[in-house]
Structure 1
Amino acid sequence: MGKDLPAGTTAARALLLKNPVHLDDREREALHQFLRDRIDEAKADDSATSWEQQLARVFDYTAWHQFIVRIDRGKGEGYQELTKKLHGALSGGEKAIALHLPLFAAVAAHYQATPSAPRVIMLDEVFVGVDTVNRGQIFALLGALDLDLILTSDHEWCMYSELSGIAIHQIVTGDGSDAVTTARFTWDGTELVSA
C-alpha cells in the first residue's frame, strides 16, 4: 500500500478483497463510509471539474493501493523489489519471468470470481529468452493455476515433463502454392505423437 493513505484504507482494502456475499451489515457500512469519504474529498477538490472526473478519482485504486513485485534471483540477496533499475539489470529470460508470473497470478485470481468461466490466456512468442528448465517450471505453474494456454511460436514445442498434455498445430505451406494446412501433434508429458 502507498504512503500517506486516507484513514481507513487498510480496513477498506481488506473488505474489498473479501467475497461480497460474506460481508455483514457492519462491514458493508464501513466500506460505504470509506467510499463516501473519498467522494466528499473529490468534491472538495477544485481540480476535478465534472462528477465523472470526481468518480474516476475516487475509484482509481492506484491512489491508495499498489502491487509490489519482489524477486529472489537465487544469488543470496533474498527478495528485492522489482524496480526499473533492477529490471534493467536482469537478463532477457529473467525479465520475461518477472513480468509474466505476476500477470498469470492476477489472471488466475480474476478467474476465481467466476469458477465456471473458461480459464484461457493467449500469448504470442511465449517466453523468448527463458531457458528450458525455467520454461518447464512456468508451464508447471500454469498447470497449478489451472490456466489453459493458447500460444503461437515458431520455435516452442512445449515438450516439458512438467506439462501433462498439449495439442500442437504446426502450419504447413505447399510448394509454391497458396495452400496452407496444419500438422497436428500431441504431447502427453513424456512423448510427442503425430496425430
Structure 2
Amino acid sequence: MQWRLHEDVDADVRAAVELLRSPSGLRTREQGEQLREVLQRRIEDARRADPSAGYAAHLRTALDYRSWFRFETYVVDDAAPGRKRALTGRTGLSQGEQRVLSYLVLFAAAAAHSTTLGETTPHAPRLILLDDAFAKVDEPTHGRLGRILVDLDLDFVLTSERLMGNWPEVPSLHIYECLRDARVRGVASLHYTWNGRHRRLMPV
C-alpha cells in the first residue's frame, strides 16, 4: 500500500503538507507564518462553503489531512517479486486472491490504528474481530494469514463454522467450540488451548 497526496489537491494543501513535514522547532519564522496563512485560508474556505456550520465543524473540514491523501494498493506476485500492479477492477484476480488482499489491507490498517492509539493509551487492546473468517480463501493460506496477525502483534477473535485456528504459524490460542443438539435446549461449549503444536481439551 502507498499513502500519497491526491493529484488534484490545491496549492494550499501542497504547501501545508510540505511545511508540516518538518518539525515545528526547525521551521523558520517565515515558514511558520506561511503555514498559519495557508491553514487560515482553508478555514475561511470551509466557512464560505457552509456558513451555518459552527467553528468546530469548519476546523474539522479544513484541517482533516486524511481527505488530502489516498491509499493506493498494489499487487506483488510471488513469481515476480520485483513487479507490482495497481489494484483495480481490471487486475484479474480470483475471488480468493481478492479476499486475501482485502484481509491484508484490513490487518495493516488495524495495526497502524492500534499503534497510533497506543502512543497515548499504552494499554489499549490491539484487537481485531473477524466473523466467518477467511471464507473462500484456500486452506494453506489460512495459517499464513494467522502468522501475519501474529507478526503485526494483533490479538484476534475469529468465528467460523469450519476453522479451529490451530495452525503451526500461530503460537498460542484459546478455542471454543459450540455444539448444539436440535433435540436439546441450549448450547454446549468445549474449551481448547493451542500451543503451536498440540490442541488440548481443557477440563470443565
TM range, smaller chain: 0.7 to 0.9
Are the counterparts in 1 of residues 132 and 160 from structure 2 also a CA contact under 8 Å?
yes
Instruction: Name the CA shift for 1:173/1:94 in 2 (closer, same or farther; >3 Å).
Output: same
Q: CA RMSD in A?
A: 3.0
The residue aligned with 1:119 is: 126
The residue aligned with 2:190 is: 183
CA distance in 2, matches of 1:110, 1:14: 24
1:164-195 deviations in whole A, cap 9, x for unaligned? Answer: 01111001124611121201112111111111
Of stretches 153-162 and 24-33 in structure 1, the one that deviates more from structure 2 is 24-33
CA-CA distance at 1:39 after TM superposition: 1.5
Are the counterparts in 1 of residues 15 and 38 from structure 2 also a CA contact under 8 Å?
no
The residue aligned with 2:113 is: 110
The residue aligned with 2:71 is: 67
Of stretches 92-101 and 54-63 in structure 1, the one that deviates more from structure 2 is 54-63
Selected match of 1:41 from 45, 55, 58: 45
Identity of aligned residues (%): 30
Unaligned 5+ runs, structure 2: none
1:98-140 deviations in whole A, cap 9, x for unaligned? Answer: 1121121111111112232111111101111212332211111
Q: Does 1:24 align with 2:28?
A: no
Of stretches 76-85 and 3-12 in structure 1, the one that deviates more from structure 2 is 3-12
Residue aligned with 2:149, SS? helix
Instruction: Name the CA shift for 1:83/1:175 in 2 (closer, same or farther; >3 Å).
Output: closer
CA-CA distance at 1:11 after TM superposition: 6.2
Selected match of 2:6 from 2, 8, 14: 2
Q: Which has the higher strand share?
A: 2
Q: Does 1:147 align with 2:151?
A: no
TM-score, normalization: structure 1? 0.80
Selected match of 1:50 from 42, 47, 52: 52
The residue aligned with 1:98 is: 101
Residue aligned with 1:72, SS? strand
CA-CA distance at 1:32 after TM superposition: 4.6
Instruction: Name the CA shift for 1:70/1:41 in 2 (closer, same or farther; >3 Å).
Output: same
TM-score, normalization: structure 2? 0.77
Q: Which amino acid aligns with 2:88?
A: T
Instruction: Name the CA shift for 1:31/1:173 in 2 (closer, same or farther; >3 Å).
Output: farther
Unaligned 5+ runs, structure 1: none
Q: Which amino acid aligns with 1:162?
A: E
Equivalent positions of 1:155-170 (< 5 A) are 155-170=162-177
Q: Which amino acid aligns with 1:83?
A: T
